[in-house]
Amino acid sequence: MSDQSNDSSDSIRLSKRMTELGMCSRREADEYIERGWVKVDGVVVNVLGSRVRPGQTVTLEAPAQAAQAARVTILLNKPVSYVSAQAEKGYKPASVLIVPENHWDGDLSGQRFHPQHLRGLAPAGRLDIDSVGLLVLTQDGRVAKTLIGENSNVEKEYLVRVSGRLSDEGLRLLNHGLELDGEALRPAQVVWQNADQLRFILKEGKKRQIRRMCEMVGLQVVGLKRIRIGNVRLGQLPTGKWRYLASNETFD
């Protein structure tokens, strides 16, 4: 029942340290601490706001590990006219598609749908209303941190149908050299897939980033489809259908 308080200048909040270690989200960390499911150097810490030094060992008790194992991650092939998160301007959130009748019969995860899987399910990344393809919704803070955390380095791959004329210099700028919102974009990989379609591979996801990048080099996006996030591909998942992330699949 120790609070493991530590006033050392290099100490940090235990919940923050847990997220840095990739153990869980901040919200989950606070829950585990309150429940007495966290140990620091072998001693239970159950007081919110407790601090630890970087060298101390943080571990999760069995109930926390079981809670994490029960959390699901869902892969959806999002259709046009659905928003990624909260409903807006009359458009429905993509989460309304996570119902038993839309569960893909090609799902090999072995998971069976349970209403509990909808609790706390949230998108880990966005696809705008007019874009389609792979959208990840998860209950697991570790997955969310991997995909959208501040230091995320996971690739996202898109097929982008465009109209307009793209010069060699424009293609070079798409790969590296553009700015959005006053910030230089990270290097991308952009190549022609066919006569009217580009393949984009990005490691960031600013709002409507690809569409805005294309506009800056004189292109208009006609269609945009996300086909991969990290090691996970959209594959044969039909539009509007969803499946569970299998236990042997990881994004990084």
**CATH assignment of the domain containing 175:** 3.30.70.1560
Range of the domain at 143: 71-151+232-244
For 6-67, the three-class secondary structure string (H helix, E strand, C coil) is CCCCCCEEHHHHHHHCCCCCHHHHHHHHHCCCEEECCEEECCCCCEECCCCCEEECHHHHHH
Question: What percent of the chain shows pLDDT beyond 90?
Answer: 76
> With pLDDT > 70 as the criterion, what percentage of the chain qualifies?
96
CB 71 within 8 A of CB 124: no
DSSP-assigned letter for residue 209: H
> Do 77 and 143 fall into the same domain?
yes
Taking the CA atoms of 49, 54, 57 and 58 in sequence, report the sign of the dihedral they define.
positive
Which stretches of the chain are DSSP H helices?
Answer: 14-20, 26-34, 62-70, 141-148, 168-175, 209-216
pLDDT digits (tens, 9 = 90+) for 79-119: 999 999 877 778 899 999 999 999 999 999 999 999 989 98
Query: Considering the domain boundaries, does residue 251 fall inside one?
Result: no
Task: Check: CB of residue 162 under 8 Å from CB of residue 219.
Answer: yes
**93 contacts 86 by C-beta, under 8 angstroms:** yes
Give the active site residue among 3, 41, 107, 128.
128
The per-residue pLDDT for range 131-180, each reduced to its tens digit, is 999 999 999 988 988 998 888 899 999 999 999 999 999 999 999 999 99
In 3D, which of 32, 53, 245, 226 has the Cα closest to residue 132? 226
Give residue 8's pLDDT band: very low, low, confident or very high (50, 70, 90): low
Would residue 107 show up in a list of annotated catalytic residues for this protein?
no
When pLDDT is averaged across residues 197-203 and rounded to a whole number, the result is: 97
- Considering the domain architecture, whether residues 56 and 101 belong to the same structural domain is answered as no
Task: For residue 124, tell me if it sits in a domain.
Answer: yes
- Specify the DSSP class assigned to residue 252: -
Same domain for 143 and 182?
Answer: no
Q: Taken in order 113, 244, 86, 120, is the CA torsion positive or negative? A: positive
Judgement on whether residues 147 and 165 belong to the same structural domain of the protein: no
Is residue 143 domain-resident? yes
Q: How many CB atoms lie within 10 A of CB 178?
A: 16
Query: Is residue 41 in some structural domain?
Result: yes
Rounded to two decimals, the pTM is: 0.81
